[in-house]
Every structure is written in C-alpha cells, then in structure tokens.
Amino acid sequence: MSFSTTIKNELTKIDTTRSEKIALLSAFFRNNAIYTSDKIELVTENSTVAKYLFQLLKDTYQVTLQIEKKKNNNFTRGNLYMMTVVEKIDLILKDLSVISEHGYYLVEPMDYIVSTLEDQAAYLRGLFLAKGSINDPKTSRYHLAFSIDTIEEATFDQDLLNNFDLNSKIITRDKGYMVYIKEAEKIGDFLRLIRASNALFYYEDIRIYRDHKNMANRLNNCEQANIDKTIETATKQVRDIEYLIDEVGLDLLDDKTKEAATYRLKYPESSLIELSEIISLETGNKITKSGLNHRFRKIRDLVSRMKQTKR
C-alpha cells in the first residue's frame, strides 16, 4: 500500500461537522465529477474512499451512490471504482458550489464553502482525496502534489494552501496543472492541517531520522576534509624541510625554527595544534599554533628563494 493510500484511508475515519462534510465534498466533486442533467459520475482507485463518499452523500443529501468496480487499464494494477449519483443532481451540484444558481460552472467555489479555517482544512482533505499524492519519505524525496485540470482551480487551491503558510507553487503540465509543495517541514504541516495524525507521526519520524543522518554525514565530510587538509599541509612542510636538508642542512635556521622543523619530521601527520602541544610539553617552551605556523612559513619562504635562485 502506498503512503498516499494510507493517508487517504486515514482521512476517511475523521469525524467532521456538516459544514466540513460539504467543504470536503465540494473539493472532491469540483476536481473529480463529470456531470450531466441526469447523473454525476465520480471515480477513485481507492475502495475505502468510495465507501466513504457513499456514506457522506447518504448522510448529507439522503442519496445513494451506485458503485461499479472496473479493471484499471491505465498501466497500473488494481481497480477503479465508478460511482454514479442519479438523484438530486441539481441540488447537490449547486449546494457544493460546482455550478451557480443559473446552472453555470463556477471556476472557484463560493465563499461559504471555505468560510472558516476548519472548512478550509476540510476542503483540502477533499482535494487530497480527489487529486493528491505524497511520496513516501522513506523511499524518495519529499514531494506533495495535486493534479488540477484548470488554472482557476489550481490558483484557488494554491491560495488556500498558502493561507496556512505552506509555500505551494504551480507548474503547467501536458494536461492541466500541478500544485505542489517540496519543503519537508511544510508537507508535515499539511498533514497536521488535514488531521492525518498517524501519517504525520510516520512522516516526522522518518524526516527526523533522515535529517540527523544527513547532519552526521555533513559533519563526517567536514571532519574528513579537515583531516585531508591537515595531512596535505603537513606533507608540504615535510617536503620543504627535506629539501632544505638535502641542499644546505638546517644550520641556516634559527634555533626555534630548527626546533619546529625537527619536530615536524618526528611527527609528520600531526596537526599544527597537536604539534604545538607536543613541543610545549616536551621542551617546556610554550608555542602556539600561530607561532608554529609562522616558523614553517619562514622555512617555506627560504625554500622558495632557494628554488628561484637555482633557475
């Protein structure tokens, strides 16, 4: 079972008010229904959603859906559940703000459909049941999307989502439009908004695990980069000192710089901090990382001048 299916199944178990039921049905019908003067047709791949709609319509409008199961031929496994309403067509479509009092299609629902925050959340639940999907955070990138047919509905849905600071965006597809959210935290906020509590716990557990894992990887990469840099710096210092020994020996150096060179050869993989602590401990003469770096810079400059002279 996909993560989206799990969420949709959970949404069908939420207790709602009559106003919320109407908002949810409005979103589903506006984004799913095909209607004529004598029937309304709905379709879903989810049998639980089909049963839920059956009960909602029975409770809200005292009508009964005709449900027919068909084989899904859209290159996917499973079935399609074709639902047909043949009673109170005009009343339902007008009450759900699909059509106006004069029978014209409404490009966006009337204000009463989403007049409260609870109704807005219910509308988004219905939208998700009709057209929504969320990738399983365990197997892929964070992505919430709604496939919408018209730009007016897509814009309405985007505005509704962004009323809750969800930062949704719209892109044009070959057929219709996609309203989507890619920010992991915002997708969690959406699940919280539509009251998919179990899905939210699952999602947040995986998100926190992945965030911690990514942080650990970044820290490990940073630590490895620092180690690589330390080794590279120490290797260059050793090469300079060995070059100096081969050419003229270390007698050209003052005592403190000669001491630094001797200890670098003795501890070729130590960082400057580690080497400064070793020298301070063994000689009793405190030397800082900065002071030690200054001495190696003097060796590097001397070697550089010697190489230039030989050219």
CB atoms inside a 10 Å sphere around CB 219? 10
- Among candidate residues 108, 130, 114, 93, the one with its CA nearest the CA of residue 11: 130
Give the pLDDT band of residue 206 (cuts 50, 70, 90). confident
Domain boundary assignment for the chain: 3-195, 230-310
| Residue-level pLDDT at 31 | 95
Task: State yes or no: pLDDT of 213 exceeds 80.
Answer: no
Quote the DSSP letter at residue 111: G
Domain 3-195 has CATH 3.10.28.10: yes
pLDDT tens figures, 118-149: 999 999 999 999 999 998 888 768 899 999 99
- Among candidate residues 128, 104, 81, the one with its CA nearest the CA of residue 35: 104
**Lookup: tokens for 142:** 């964070």
Task: State yes or no: pLDDT of 58 exceeds 90.
Answer: yes
The backbone region for 249, taken as left when phi is positive above 0, alpha when psi lies in -120 to 50, beta otherwise, is left
| Residue-level pLDDT at 138 | 81
Check: CB of residue 200 under 8 Å from CB of residue 10: no
Check: CB of residue 97 under 8 Å from CB of residue 106: yes
Q: Which residues, in sequence order, are bridge partners of residue 48?
A: none
| Residue-level pLDDT at 293 | 86
Using CA atoms, how far apart are residues 148 and 145, in angstroms rounded to an integer?
Answer: 9
pLDDT tens figures, 240-289: 888 888 888 887 788 888 888 888 888 888 888 888 888 888 888 888 88
Which span out of 15-19, 74-78, 265-269 was modeled with the highest average pLDDT? 15-19
Using CA atoms, how far apart are residues 195 and 277, in angstroms rounded to an integer?
Answer: 58
| Residue-level pLDDT at 280 | 87
User: For the chain, what percent of residues have pLDDT higher than 70?
Assistant: 95
| Residue-level pLDDT at 250 | 81
Using CA atoms, how far apart are residues 67 and 185, in angstroms rounded to an integer?
Answer: 38
pTM (two decimals) = 0.69
| Residue-level pLDDT at 214 | 66
Instruction: Provide φ and ψ at 209, rounded to 5°.
Output: -60, -45
| Residue-level pLDDT at 306 | 84
Check: CB of residue 293 under 8 Å from CB of residue 272: yes
With both helix axes pointing from N to C terminus, report the angle between 197-247 and 289-310 in degrees, rounded to the nearest 10: 50
Of the two residues 234 and 108, the one the predictor is more confident about is 108
Least confident of 65-74, 164-173, 272-281: 65-74
